[in-house]
Chains A and B, each alone.
Chain A
Amino acid sequence: MKELDIVGLTNEVFSEEFEVPAGDLSPQAHIFNDLGLDSLDVVDLIVALQKKFGVQVRNDERVREVRTLQDLYDYLGQIRDEQL
């Protein structure tokens, strides 16, 4: 499980669920300001990530600190180490 392609799978979620063009998925992209998600989307993002990675993150306070894609990759890396 350590071999999970966190970047690839996370980017898949943004492409499939939120129709974000692949070219926009740079690590420094801000999830709200650059990728166009809003508060409603974040709920769906969490559900999609839970399904994609088989983890539970909805009630984790740390997920609220995520702002950029890199933040998200880093956070999912921590979750991978803790839950998988």
Chain B
Amino acid sequence: MPLKRPVITGMGVVSSLGCNVEDLTGGIESGGCATKYIDEWAGIEGLNSKVAAPLELKGERDIPRKFRRTMSPMSIFAAGAADQALESAGIGQSGMRDNPRAGCIVGHTSGSPQALHSVYSELLSSGDFGMFGSSDFFRCISHTAALNVSQYLGITGAVMATSAACASGLQAVGAGADLIRTGRQDMMLCGGTEELHQTVTGSFDILFAASCGYNDRPSMTPRPFDRDRDGLVCGEGAGMLLLEEYDHARNRGARILAEITGYHTCGNGTHISRSNPAAMKLCMEAALGEAGVEPKDIDYINAHATGTEQGDAAEAGALADIFSETHTPVSSLKGNLGHTLGASGPIELIVSLVMMENGTIYPTHNLKNVADDCRGIVHVKEKMETEIRCFLKNSFAFGGINAAIVCRRI
């Protein structure tokens, strides 16, 4: 049976620079940086990184209480982004409801860290399971966003959750594309979501991967690929995309934003926290291979680059190995949004789709002096006008898990 063609027909975001695609890209275009000093973290012993890119929760009451009661912020973000994606695709909620050929995959790092904190605080202090509500469980469970979004939208197709930390969201998109490619589903609502919590930033902090040196100058961090980078800054938000089988989209007259022509995900098999350039390279080359394109055919690379010392250098090295001869522009959006972890892949993929449509590449915010260990690739330091026919999006996660997607304009 010939493989089908997955295309993107809808997209939506909830982010710290704007709660729709237009506001987000406007915020990036104007050089916005969402990093702030978090006052509530000031007194937390051992947490050296006091900065994050928070999002103000708005409009959650638009979600009926029946669905909202089991949602933590990460599910609310995902539901908001999902609504936008369906609206922009021109099908709305009714287009997904009760359609066994329409599914949903949402990725994130863990169950809601805010709910987990609340539940365990209560349990450890009271020792009383009788003080747990029924909705606590649905906020803590590891597929909380997928179950909440699918219930909210009445989805009866495939429902799955990908959990691979910072690669979760891109894996969700890739897995959705695979379900369409193999003919199992006609439409897949896919993306990622995350919410801020001190334990999330703390988990990077204890590994010396979180930015600690800019607590007094938050807008100067993170600094992907920069000489003075000192770690990542956690962010929050959600990005959701509607993927659709090509003929299904054409037959209903949908506007096709791009085709997903290549996807790959792989482990590095070497070290749990240390990035491996060889495995990154293998991942990107496999995605290019599936897309049937050469490095020279890629007009733009949206890097994972979070601003960590080791990860940025590894990604730059892997990219240089593949693209040193092609002069392909590379930028990272983490300087604007921080690292939204499992949401970063879909959010940044969406911004890349806008860049492709507009023929504009947004620069790497806070990249002033390219670090010696990040040379060998073409860094975008100022807004750049150029035609983008095909781009590559990377996500790399702790655990050595890599993901890469190739999209092309139709």
User: A58 an interface residue at 8 Å Cβ cutoff?
Assistant: yes
Interface string of B41-83 (1 = CB under 8 A from A): 0000000000000000000000001100100000000000000
The residue of chain B having its C-beta at the shortest distance from the C-beta of A20 within the complex is B65
What separation, in Å, do the CA atoms of A43 and B131 have in the docked complex? 10
B65 touches A44 (CB 8 A): no
Verify if B2 is at the interface (C-beta below 8 Å from A).
no
B253 interface residue (CB < 8 Å to A): no
In the bound complex, do residue A58 and residue B134 qualify as a contact, i.e. CB atoms below 8 Å apart?
no
B interface footprint on A37-64 (CB within 8 Å = 1, 0 otherwise): 0101101100110110000101100000
Question: Is there an interface contact between A47 and B65, defined as CB atoms closer than 8 Å?
Answer: no
| Contact assessment for A40 and B130 in the assembled complex, using a CB-CB cutoff below 8 Å | no
Q: Does the CB pair B69–A44 fall under 8 Å?
A: yes
Contacts of B69 in A (CB 8 A): 40-41, 44
Alpha-carbon separation in the docked complex, A50 to B122 (Å):
13
Is A18 close to B, CB under 8 A?
A: yes
A-side contacts of B134, CB under 8 Å? 40-41, 43-44
* Chain B nearest Cβ from A19, distance in angstroms: 5
**Are B65 and A19 in contact, CB atoms less than 8 angstroms apart?**
yes
Nearest CB in chain B: distance from A47 CB, A:
4
**A44 and B133 within 8 A (CB):** yes
Chain B residues within 8 Å of A47, by CB:
130-133
- The complex places the Cα of A18 from the Cα of B132 at a distance, in Å, of 16
The minimal Cβ–Cβ distance linking A79 to chain B, given in whole angstroms, is 14
Across the interface, name the chain B residue whose C-beta is closest to A48.
B133
Number of residues on chain B facing chain A (CB within 8 A):
9
B273 adjacent to chain A (CB < 8 Å)? no
The DSSP consensus for interface residues of chain A is helix
Q: How far is the CA of A3 from the CA of B132 in the complex (A)?
A: 28
Cβ of B135 < 8 Å from any Cβ of A?
yes
Cα distance, A46 to B135, chains bound together (Å)? 12
Q: A42 — nearest CB in chain B belongs to which residue?
A: B134
Contact yes or no, B65 A56, CB < 8 A: no
In the bound complex, CA of A4 to CA of B133 (Å): 24
Q: B135 — which chain A residues lie within 8 A by C-beta?
A: 40, 44
Per DSSP, chain B at the interface is helix
Contact code string B119-135 (vs A, CB < 8 Å = 1, else 0): 00000000000111111
Query: What is the bound-complex CA distance between A14 and B110, given in angstroms?
Result: 31
Q: In the complex, which residues of chain B have a beta carbon less than 8 angstroms from the beta carbon of A59?
A: 130
A51–B65 touching, CB < 8 Å: no
Measured between beta carbons, the chain B residues less than 8 angstroms from A48 are 133
The answer to whether residues A51 and B131 also contact, given A18-B65, A19-B65, A44-B69 and a CB cut-off of 8 A, is yes
> Most chain-B CB neighbours within 10 Å: which of A47, A51, A58, A59?
A47
Bound-state CA distance A48–B132 (Å) is 9
> Given the complex of chains A and B, what is the CA–CA distance between A40 and B133 in angstroms?
9
Q: How far is the CB of B225 from chain A (nearest CB, A)?
A: 47
Distance of A18 Cα from B134 Cα, bound (Å):
13
CA–CA, A2 and B66, complex, Å: 35
Question: What separation, in Å, do the CA atoms of A47 and B137 have in the docked complex?
Answer: 14
B117-174 residues at the A interface, CB under 8 angstroms: 130-135
Q: Considering the chains assembled together, what is the distance between the CA atoms of A48 and B130 in angstroms?
A: 11
CA distance A43 to B133 in the complex (A): 6
**Given A18-B65, A41-B69, are A50 and B133 neighbors across the interface (CB < 8 Å)?**
no
Q: Quick one: which of B65, B66, B130 contacts A58, CB cutoff 8 A?
A: B130
Provide the bound-state CA to CA distance between A40 and B66, in Å.
10
- Give the complex CA separation of A62 and B369 in angstroms: 71
Residues of chain A within 8 A of B66, CB atoms compared: 38
Inter-chain contacts of B132 with A (CB < 8 A): 47
CA distance A48 to B66 in the complex (A): 17
Please, how many angstroms separate the alpha-carbon atoms of A19 and B69 in the complex? 11
Q: How far is the CA of A40 from the CA of B69 in the complex (A)?
A: 10
Task: Report chain B residues within 8 Å CB of A50.
Answer: 130-131
A50 to chain B, nearest CB (A): 7
Enumerate chain B residues within 8 angstroms of A38, measured Cβ to Cβ: 66
Per the bound structure, the CA–CA distance linking A50 and B132 in Å amounts to 11
> 25 pairs across A/B with beta carbons < 8 Å?
A18-B65, A19-B65, A38-B66, A40-B69, A40-B134, A40-B135, A41-B69, A41-B134, A43-B133, A43-B134, A44-B69, A44-B133, A44-B134, A44-B135, A47-B130, A47-B131, A47-B132, A47-B133, A48-B133, A50-B130, A50-B131, A51-B131, A56-B130, A58-B130, A59-B130
Top 7 nearest A-B pairs (CB, nearest first) are A43-B134, A44-B133, A47-B133, A58-B130, A40-B134, A19-B65, A44-B134
